């Protein structure tokens, strides 16, 4: 596969090029090693393209995971505690998880454990490979990467998406670079409040 487009949000790419150039080179090499032709294995059951052979999101994710794992990119989780009281959430948002729980309990509310997980993290950089439904992309950009950034686990997040030309050869409902770029730009320059690099790929 190859990178067709990149979008740098809040100087995410500039940060990588200055502070983590080796990780950006790693990602470029991983993308180049993924053989898209081997991932064209899904036989469509959709009414609009019955019987057509499509690119399989599952196979593409497997290919990326294999390459990234070889280079030491690992899954990471950030745990936190929530409650029904908005005042308490604002008060405990920036605390460490154990402190959040204690504060909520001491206020007489019930703490509920939750977490965010990202598949690939290395040296304070997170990567999400997203060939799934478009709603998952919004969750990655506006929840996952942001949670890891606010939790001081990462300095920048990277989102890998298919270009529209690739997405058109996949099942319906898959998010794509051009559409998600529009969604990010529409929010304004400072939202989400986390440095990001959005990467558009195709065979």
> How many structural domains does the chain have?
1
Report if residue 95 sits inside a domain: no
111 pLDDT more than 90: yes
Mean pLDDT of 139-148: 92
Report if residue 125 sits inside a domain: yes
In CATH, what number is assigned to the domain containing residue 182?
3.40.91.20
Report if residue 124 sits inside a domain: yes
135 pLDDT more than 90: no
What does the pLDDT look like over 46-99, one tens digit per residue? 877 888 999 999 999 999 999 999 999 999 988 899 999 999 999 998 898 999
CA-based nearest residue to 85, from 122, 115, 110, 51: 110
DSSP 10-31: TTHHHHHHHH-HHHHHHHHHHH
Give the pLDDT of residue 187.
93
Helices (H), ranges, 93-198: 97-106, 134-139, 145-150, 164-167, 177-186
Give the pLDDT of residue 151.
83
Report if residue 94 sits inside a domain: no
What does the pLDDT look like over 163-196, one tens digit per residue? 999 999 998 889 999 999 999 999 998 999 999 9
Mean pLDDT of 14-40: 97
Report if residue 143 sits inside a domain: yes
158 pLDDT more than 90: yes
Confidence of residue 202 (pLDDT cuts 50, 70, 90): very high
Report if residue 104 sits inside a domain: no
132 pLDDT more than 90: no
Q: What average pLDDT does the structure give for the chain?
A: 94
Place of tokens 């180049």: 32
Domain, as residue range, for 13: 2-76+119-202
pTM score of the predicted model = 0.89
Q: 3-class secondary structure for 53-108?
A: EECCHHHHHHHHHHHHHHCCCEEEEEEEEECCCHHHHHHHCCCCHHHHHHHHHHCC
Report if residue 23 sits inside a domain: yes
Distance between start and end Cα atoms, the chain? 4
Report if residue 107 sits inside a domain: no
């Amino acid at each position: 596969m190859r990178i067709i487009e990149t979008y740098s949000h809040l100087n995410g790419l500039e940060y990588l090029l200055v502070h983590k150039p080796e990780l950006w080179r790693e990602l470029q090499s991983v993308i180049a090693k993924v053989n898209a032709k081997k991932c064209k294995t899904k036989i469509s059951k959709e009414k609009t393209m019955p019987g057509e052979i499509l690119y399989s999101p599952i196979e593409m994710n497997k290919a990326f995971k294999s390459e990234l794992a070889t280079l030491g990119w690992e899954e990471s989780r950030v745990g936190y505690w929530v409650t029904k009281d908005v005042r308490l959430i604002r008060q405990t948002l920036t605390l460490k998880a154990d402190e959040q729980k204690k504060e909520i309990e001491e206020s007489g509310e019930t703490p509920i454990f939750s977490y965010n997980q990202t598949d690939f993290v290395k040296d304070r950089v997170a990567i999400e490979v997203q060939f799934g439904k478009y709603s998952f992309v919004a969750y990655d950009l506006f929840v996952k990467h942001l949670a890891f950034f606010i939790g001081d686990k990462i300095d920048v997040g990277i989102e890998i998406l298919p270009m529209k030309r690739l997405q058109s050869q996949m099942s319906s409902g898959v998010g794509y670079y051009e559409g998600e770029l529009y969604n990010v730009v529409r929010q304004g320059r400072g939202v989400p409040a986390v440095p990001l690099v959005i990467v558009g790929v195709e065979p």
